Structure 1
Amino acid sequence: MQKIGFDAQKYIQMQYEHIVERINEGHGERLYLEFGGKLVHDKHAMRVLPGFDENAKIKLLQKLSDQAEVIICVFAGDIATNKTRQDFGITYDLEVMRLIDTFRKYGLSINSVVVTRYEENPAVDMFINKLERRNIKTYKHKYTKGYPTDVDVIVSEEGYGANPYIETTKPLCVVTGPGGGSGKLATCLSQLYHENRRGCKARYAKFETFPVWNIPLKHPINVAYEAATADLKDVNMIDSFHLEAYGVQAVNYNRDLEVFPVVKRIIEKIEGGECEYKSPTDMGVNMVGYGICDDEACREAAKQEIIRRTLIALCDYKKGKVDETSAERVRLLMEEVGAHIDDRKVVPAAREYAEKKRESDEQFENIVAVSIELPDGVIVTGRNSEIMAAAAAAILNAVKHLAKMADEVHLIAPHVLEGIQDLKRDILQQEKTSLNVEEILNALTVSASTNPSAELAVEKLKELRGCKAHCTAILNDKDEQLLGDLGIDITCDPEYSTNNLYFK
């Protein structure tokens, strides 16, 4: 059982109080609060800060629901290229829609969706049409003329003035997006310009969970952030502006530090006076560092996350999703914190089991193994066969262990498995007839109506949430998604199980 290292309730209360304080400082001015990272289902924070509530941020916003409205930004290029949110396996356009549904569930008012750096594109225009026909206001913000060097042009009718003004009504405007580079900052600054032109005062602040500004630069939690954003080339640094202004070390990252002088000049140009912020850290409202209650537990969790990110990066390189530089950078970060891939216990367990089965079953080619670490610390394994995929076998073995059943117990009758295989081969005419995770779960659920053992096994599936797992080959998208839906944190070796390019 993982040790708790983070006090979620303390964090939510401190964060709430700090945001309210920032709102009240404005004396009635509207506050545009840029939310970096994941506003809901922040699984990265949950993994590196054991005890963190993945929905902590939206829960604290729920406490401000009467004062807040949400603007969602999405970069047009991410829609055009079908960029995917890795932890859910869905594209950014679908993630925007999921966010809207989630915010509504928490009682938060959706103001609009802003498509940033808009250029005409069939996929982007279809996305806008979908939203507008569901009565979601959408705005198109094109590339800002003069950005980032010519502040006089940026803060003019040619620059921010060319963007449509987003009509807002509440004192707190939360500006978020499906991921990094969504154009949240540009949207906030554009709104400051338009508010000022209308004679309304508005302020800007930023809520970015990582890097954590008040822990050491090379703390594994901060290194884990670099590993998570390797494709964005983010690098943590000491905030030199904060150090110079206050004589205090604070951690920030390269993009914020690089853009701060420009942001400061833009705000001063808009407001016609000195900017209230002396550093990018000043702009933040992040209390997450104060929620750490067991530093050692968080260090260990962060190291595990860096190992996880290394395996994901190596697989993404194999799939052609990232370049070699990004994958190599994550590997070097893992070495920097003194971690090794084998420190993720399920990795050597899966590899050793696969090797053992290769030696004992020379007739079966391309053996793949999956290992799952259960809440009691026991690691169970499963391998692929002519009947089912390795991940499906491992799940059945896991629920048998949790239910204290013997390996010989049949959870699914053999004739049921054969019937599904016959359907796949003879009627659907599929090349691969071994059953995947979804098919096994469906068969297990149906079996539960007549088999008490299967019924108990279905109940035990809930206990797999939060478990770590590893596969000795890259999983197909369906199995990876289903394991994620079960709450299993799965990683893979960067190898395909066969040489086939389509029939895997």
Structure 2
Amino acid sequence: MNRIGFDNQKYLELQSKRIMERISQFGDKLYLEFGGKLFDDYHASRVLPGFAPDSKLQMLLQIKEEAEIVFAINASHINSNKIRQDLNITYQEDVIRLINEFRRIGLYVSSVVITQYSSSKLITQFQNKLKKMNINVYHHYTIEGYPTDSKRIISKDGFGKNDFIETTRPLVVVTAPGPGSGKMATCLSQLYHENIRGVRAGYAKYETFPIWNLPLDHPSNLAYEAATADLNDVNMIDPYHLSAYNKITVNYNRDIEIFPVLKNIFEEIYGTCPYASPTDMGVNMIGSAIVDDEVIQKAGKQEIIRRYFNTFNRYYNELCDINELNKQELILKKANLVLEDRKCVKKAREAQKHYKVYSGAIDCLDGTIVTGRTTELMGACSSVLINTLKYLAQIDQNVHIIETKLIEPIQNLKTEYLGSCNPRLHANEILIALCISAQTNENAKKALACLNQLKGLQAHITCDLSNVDLNTYSQLGIQVTYESSKK
């Protein structure tokens, strides 16, 4: 059984209280930067077993009448069609998905700001979609000298050239589809413009990671570095907090770099800054809801290895440079990990060595690791999936639960009519065959009934995975890694 290391209810209570305290600290308006995922924070749920992916959303729903949401998305992420890896959709697709989801549950989304704006066909297409949804679109621009040249930043040539985002509610939540979207710069730009308009506005940061009251090299914090390796984020001791309070806390480089700018903005507006450090401006209560650090450390280590494989595959498919891969290797060393500390990696590699074909392994909750290999009918991904369902249903591995006559028509459709060179069934196709077989085969029916037991299991495949297989595993809740064959 999965052990829980995080008390989600305690977290909601502590976090709601802290945010309400921060709202009351300021006068007319509060810009609250939401770091991480607002709607489905799967990274947090993986590294903090017990954390609900929609925890931040549930907290926000309690104060929805006072709140409106502004999305920030970086122009470069639109132009590069940057992918949100856990959902395998582009950032712009995710923004539209989230707007629709938020509206469905009664949250008010007022606008989208495109940061570091420059004109392009993809950006124009994205803006047109937003306008059809009655979403206001604003542009913020690259500022020379950002974030160190505070004199230029706080001027007409800095924040002054950005569009002012029109908002109507006292709490403005600034969120984004992923890191590097410009959420903080959006908030600071708004403070500058609000001050010109005579509005007393404040700023606070709701960032899940790094966890400020855990050690710098705690696996949870290292897992955050691994998750943002493409941004070259680095966890650091907050020097401002150490100087002000003689207390060690953890923050990350971009917040520490931007703090002097934030401090100058507040001093120009109020004559003084309410925060002595980047840690002060945060409201994160994650660390106070950890109830089993051993569980949390184990989950963080597994995430570090998963992130390594993700970068490894991206590098060998020419989607990132060697520096990102080198950083992941450094994080592995910091955490004293090797790849085979992920048990399914070791078993999958052993199976490949034994059978001399691509293989897979799935780590079940009871500690049993099921393996599968490539056959004439199925790829490794499909084979290990069926074998795991047989194990969960207590069916002997030698028993066939899908008849060959059900697989062959699907293979024929793929190769003869759909132009596929690979006759082997993908994970979704083998599940369709299992569904058909379950109509007449009692063992297939028993195996099919175990699909809900796959959620949260760990898997590793020793070859490239297609998007179809990745999506199927994601939908089943299986956390899968794989190894690019382009070596």
Give the superposition deviation at 1:180.
1.3
More displaced 10-residue stretch of structure 1: 135-144 or 444-453 = 444-453
Give the superposition deviation at 1:397.
0.9
Q: What is the match of residue 362 of structure 1?
A: none
1:448 aligns with 2:447: no
Q: What is the match of residue 19 of structure 2?
A: 19
Which of 411, 414, 427 in structure 2 is aligned with 1:424?
A: 414
Gaps of 5+ in 1: 359-366, 500-504
Alpha-carbon deviations, 1:111-156, whole Å to 9, x = none? 1111111111000110000111122221122223663344344333
1:278 aligns with 2:268: no
Q: Distance in 1 between matches of 2:229 and 2:403?
A: 47
Alpha-carbon deviations, 1:138-184, whole Å to 9, x = none? 11222236633443443333332322222212211110101111111
Q: Is the 8 A contact 2:359 2:374 kept in 1?
A: yes
Q: What is the match of residue 244 of structure 2?
A: 245
Alpha-carbon deviations, 1:430-470, whole Å to 9, x = none? 21111111211222223333433333322211110100000
Q: Is the 8 A contact 2:210 2:250 kept in 1?
A: yes
Q: Distance in 2 between matches of 1:399 and 1:192?
A: 55
Alpha-carbon deviations, 1:230-262, whole Å to 9, x = none? 221111111110111111111111111112112
Q: What is the match of residue 318 of structure 1?
A: 316
Within 5 A, what are the aligned runs for 1:58-77? 58-77=57-76
- TM-score, scaled relative to structure 2: 0.96
Q: Distance in 1 between matches of 2:311 and 2:419?
A: 35
Q: Percent identity?
A: 48
2:450 alignment partner, SS class: helix
1:12 alignment partner, SS class: helix
RMSD: 1.7
Alpha-carbon deviations, 1:5-43, whole Å to 9, x = none? 1111101110010001101122x4211000111112212
1:172 aligns with 2:171: yes
More displaced 10-residue stretch of structure 1: 118-127 or 304-313 = 304-313
Give the superposition deviation at 1:293.
0.7
Give the superposition deviation at 1:390.
1.0
Q: What is the match of residue 458 of structure 1?
A: 448
More displaced 10-residue stretch of structure 1: 367-376 or 160-169 = 160-169
Q: What is the match of residue 406 of structure 1?
A: 396
Residue type matched to 1:36 in 2? G
Q: What is the match of residue 471 of structure 1?
A: 461
Which of 366, 385, 390 in structure 2 is aligned with 1:395?
A: 385
Q: Structure 1 residues 100, 133: CA separation in 2 closer, same or farther (over 3 Å shift)?
A: same
Q: Distance in 2 between matches of 1:153 and 1:328?
A: 35
1:184 aligns with 2:174: no
More displaced 10-residue stretch of structure 1: 345-354 or 299-308 = 299-308
1:233 aligns with 2:232: yes
Gaps of 5+ in 2: none
Q: Is the 8 A contact 2:147 2:257 kept in 1?
A: no
- TM-score, scaled relative to structure 1: 0.93
Alpha-carbon deviations, 1:326-380, whole Å to 9, x = none? 212212221222222111110111111111112xxxxxxxx11011112222111
Alpha-carbon deviations, 1:66-116, whole Å to 9, x = none? 221110000011000111111111111111112212322432111111111
- After the TM superposition, which parts of structure 1 deviate over 4 Å for at least 4 consecutive aligned residues? none
Q: Is the 8 A contact 2:390 2:396 kept in 1?
A: yes
1:215 alignment partner, SS class: coil
Count matched residues.
487
Q: Distance in 2 between matches of 1:425 and 1:311?
A: 31
Q: What is the match of residue 330 of structure 1?
A: 328
Q: Distance in 1 between matches of 2:431 and 2:185?
A: 46
Q: Distance in 1 between matches of 2:416 and 2:55?
A: 50
Within 5 A, what are the aligned runs for 1:198-237? 198-237=197-236
Which of 455, 469, 479 in structure 2 is aligned with 1:489?
A: 479
